[in-house]
Chain A
């Protein structure tokens, strides 16, 4: 029953998309200045059916309706309700439906709340958006239908992959999807702007909120994914340059570039074509990310069960999309001849953009090169952290410097400012203190630390200045502060992290340079959907003589049978103590991974600050637009 209803709703949503495409094309040719009411009505109906189809899938998951193949493959009656719900998007088919829902939701919202009066621009955005919706709905129906039926109906489902049964991971995909799919709106709007020839300020105002929202969700999505990796994967790291992590980072670079370019566009100083290129590139990167994750061409903790036909569909769509976007761009892009003054705010923003594009290129090459090499020569290589650290780290220095100086330059000016000021003195002093505390010898690391301190100090000075003048650009200040702190804490964390690997038997004690680790007890527990072996470890710090107890777990999930290793993390404000254990088969020996990771909470908070700045800009938008 639910299966039929779901299919019917999806088909209705598809038909309405065709109707909207038809109306949009017809409206585009008329001289009427108003968008007819029926387009609004049809958009709402489309949204209703699209959301309803998702709700039906959700109900099927909550009530464990195994007549749906998708529910049978990814759920189980014993699963806690929370994970039954998150299971809806924990698989390819369900998450694609969620993808489409966000696409439809954004398309409708754009139509209703966009303030731009240009009818053709709105109609064309709706047209492109509906073309995307049609393509993804057809993909859903013929290749990845979450409503496919199963007969005879099984009594039990196969269960959700246990490593996905985690609160952070339950919300990680929807957050990223809002970021990914949110970029579709400015992709469509950019193409529409080219054809309808709207002016730069209208374009900037139309797409800015969407860029901010998608950037915010993308940032928070990446953060939550990172936190999940830290807690769940049990390696003690939070970023692995895994190809799939990279595919969420690539659109983030472009979004960040776009976010800054729009500021220039808003003031009619230029970059019209560049903003269009970035808008197209962001969505292209989002679809590329989707392709990489879902086609299965990458080997990663994230990959969905692979299916080459699925990959072929997304790949073909991606290529056609890029091809048509380039075609429209070349056909309609206006010629621009803007000269920027060297020491003006806009040239700093352009420099920021080039850095972002450089970072994008580095990550894109690192992600795709192994795939290309394997296909062309058959040899397998893995590109890992050393490559990224080697290439990206030195470029953080000029980027941090630009972020420090740029915001204090004026628009369309070429006034050179002196760098020798109080901020520099304070920064150097703070750096020297840090240097004596850390005593790190690497020149590059010290430079990065200095420039991150410089950025943080400058931003705090800016905050003080703007509070005094009551002219606060709080969003920029918070974001840049967050970024400066992030880089600082990432490197301090890197320098001070301790890692020990060793084997222990129950009752044994291990002494490391700074700690004594005692394996006190082992206990078996039985929870609703898994059994677990809990180890009790007491950790004494040799310096402070304080002791704490850590309880790592080995969980054995029954549906499907999977073993996961749960890290035990004791976290205080400044430092995390991290312990995982794994058993060695047929022995009573356990392999212990013990880590001390300083400032982890500060890393998370820095990213939160960074994203908070973005969302504050969203709410301050109206005020800024009037200025």
Chain B
């Protein structure tokens, strides 16, 4: 009995040791770039203006879709907004804005002041849906194709170079 006890404890601690040892070499910075090439998961997102939801499956109807996570309280989102307006002029690209952890009135005022580039506006009040897209901070932008595969992921505000990159991909 005593032997078994020692063996069990030894196994437990060897396991703990190995896991913690391996974790020492892990990448500490949260990097979502490895999601590129993977398909986005199927989730229901609430629409902003109504009580309806939209399933990400419906996005297969679009040739290309850009998902942009933003909020009125987010300074850099204001910075990137003109670039989103530029993106909205590309023909075969649909823009979906996901309003992240925001106050509805503030979000409406934001769009009124800066223009609304989005074809569809959704919201993620508690930030839980965004986790499915590997989003942990905003702004973040994801470009997907009609098979819902992630082609590009931009963490932080979009700049003009990245707008041109998206334009190139979409025009191919």
A residues lining the B interface (CB < 8 Å): 291, 295-297, 299, 306, 308, 311-312, 315-316, 319, 322-323, 326, 330, 371-372, 374-376, 380, 382, 501-503, 582-587, 589, 591, 593
- Among B24, B30, B75, B78, chain A packs the most CB atoms within 10 A around the CB of B24
Against A, the Cβ 8 Å flags (1 = close, 0 = not) of B16-30 are 110111111110111
Min distance, Cβ A563 to any Cβ of chain B, angstroms? 13
> How far apart are the CA atoms of A374 and B75 in the complex, in Å?
31
Contact of B79 among A295, A315, A586, A593 (CB under 8 A): A586
Identity of the chain B residue whose Cβ is nearest the Cβ of A308 in the assembled complex: B24
**B79 contacts A584, C-beta separation under 8 Å:** yes
B73 touching A297 by the CB < 8 A rule?
A: no
Nearest residue (CB) in B for A303 is: B28
Q: List 28 A-B contacts (CB under 8 A).
A: A297-B20, A297-B28, A299-B30, A306-B28, A308-B24, A312-B21, A312-B24, A315-B17, A316-B17, A319-B13, A323-B10, A371-B23, A374-B23, A375-B22, A375-B26, A376-B19, A382-B136, A501-B73, A501-B106, A502-B72, A502-B106, A503-B72, A503-B73, A503-B78, A582-B75, A584-B76, A591-B74, A593-B73
Asked if A299 and B29 make an inter-chain contact with CB atoms under 8 angstroms apart, the answer reads yes
Residues of chain A within 8 A (CB-CB) of B72 are 501-503
Knowing A501-B106, A503-B78, say if A311 contacts B24 (CB, 8 Å): yes
Which residues does chain A contribute within 8 Å of B73, judged by CB atoms? 501-503, 591, 593
Q: How far is A382 from B10 in the complex, measured between Cα atoms in Å?
A: 29
Within 8 Å of chain A (Cβ to Cβ): is B5? yes
User: Is the beta-carbon distance between B13 and A323 smaller than 8 angstroms?
Assistant: yes
Chain A contacts for B74, CB-based, 8 A: 591
Instruction: Chain A residues near B9: list those with CB within 8 A.
Output: 323, 326
Chain A positions within 8 Å of B2 at CB level? 330
Given contacts A296-B28, A297-B20, A375-B26, contact A584 B136 (CB under 8 A): no
Q: Which 9 A-B pairs have the closest CB atoms?
A: A584-B75, A501-B73, A308-B24, A375-B23, A311-B24, A591-B75, A375-B22, A297-B23, A371-B23
- Whether B26 pairs with A587 at a CB distance below 8 angstroms is no
B20 touches A371 (CB 8 A): yes
Complex contacts, A316 vs chain B, CB 8 Å: 17
B103 is an interface residue with CB less than 8 A from chain A: yes
Q: Please, which residues of chain A bring their CB within 8 A of the CB of B30?
A: 299, 380
* CB–CB B23/A585 < 8 A: no
Find chain B residues with CB under 8 A from A319 CB.
Answer: 13, 16-17
A611–B135 Cα distance when bound, in Å, is 41
Chain A residues within an 8 Å CB radius of B78: 503, 584, 587, 589
Complex: A312 Cα to B78 Cα, angstroms: 44
Among residues of A, the one whose C-beta sits closest to the C-beta of B77 is A584
CA distance A582 to B17 in the complex (A): 43
Nearest residue (CB) in A for B157 is: A585
Chain A residues with CB under 8 Å of B75's CB are 503, 582-585, 589, 591
Q: Which one of A322, A372, A380, A585 contacts B76 once the chains associate, using CB atoms below 8 Å? A: A585
In chain B between 51 and 90, which residues have their CB closer than 8 angstroms to a CB of chain A? Answer: 72-76, 78-79
Bound-state Cα–Cα, A296 to B78, Å: 34
Question: How many whole Å from B73's CB to the nearest CB in chain A?
Answer: 4
Rounded to whole angstroms, the CA-CA distance of A291 and B16 in the bound complex is 13
Nearest Cβ on chain B to A356's Cβ, whole angstroms = 22
Residues from chain B with Cβ under 8 Å of A582 in the complex: 75
Distance between B76 CB and nearest chain A CB, rounded to angstroms: 7
Residues of A within 8 A of B24 (CB): 295-297, 308, 311-312, 315
| Bound CA span A205–B20, Å | 37
Report B91 CB to chain A, min CB distance, Å.
30
Q: Which residues 1-59 in B have Cβ within 8 Å of A in the complex?
A: 2, 5-6, 9-10, 13, 16-17, 19-26, 28-30
Q: Determine the chain B residues whose CB is within 8 A of the CB of A322 once the complex forms.
A: 13
- Residues in A neighbouring B79, C-beta threshold 8 A: 584-587
CA–CA, A324 and B13, complex, Å: 12
Bound CA span A312–B25, Å: 10
> Using Cβ atoms and an 8 Å threshold, which residues of chain A touch B10?
323
Compute how far the CA of A113 lies from the CA of B151 in the bound complex, rounded to whole angstroms.
69
Most buried by A among B10, B17, B30: B17
Q: Within the assembled complex, what's the spacing in Å between the Cα atoms of A584 and B75?
A: 5
Query: Are A501 and B103 in contact (CB-based, < 8 A)?
Result: yes
Check A297–B26 contact: CB distance below 8 A.
yes
Instruction: List 18 other contacts, CB 8 Å, given A375-B22, A502-B72, A587-B78.
Output: A297-B23, A308-B24, A311-B24, A312-B21, A315-B20, A316-B17, A319-B16, A322-B13, A323-B10, A326-B9, A374-B23, A375-B19, A382-B136, A502-B106, A583-B75, A584-B75, A584-B78, A593-B73
Q: Which residues in B have their C-beta under 8 angstroms from that of A589?
A: 75, 78
Nearest A residue to B20, CB-CB? A315
Q: Which residues of A contact B103 (CB under 8 A)?
A: 501
- Expressed in whole angstroms, the Cα–Cα distance for A299 and B30 within the complex equals 9
Q: Which single residue of chain B is at the shortest CB-CB distance from A500? A: B103
Q: Which residue of A lies closest to B113 (CB)?
A: A503
**Could you tell me the distance in whole angstroms from the C-beta of B140 to the nearest C-beta in chain A?**
15
- CB-nearest residue of chain A to B73: A501
Which of A308, A372, A503, A586 is close to B25, meaning CB atoms less than 8 Å apart?
Answer: A308
**B106 near A372: Cβ-Cβ < 8 Å:** no
A315: B residues at CB distance < 8 A: 17, 20-21, 24
Complex Cα spacing A70 to B17, Å: 30
A583: chain B residues at CB < 8 Å are 75
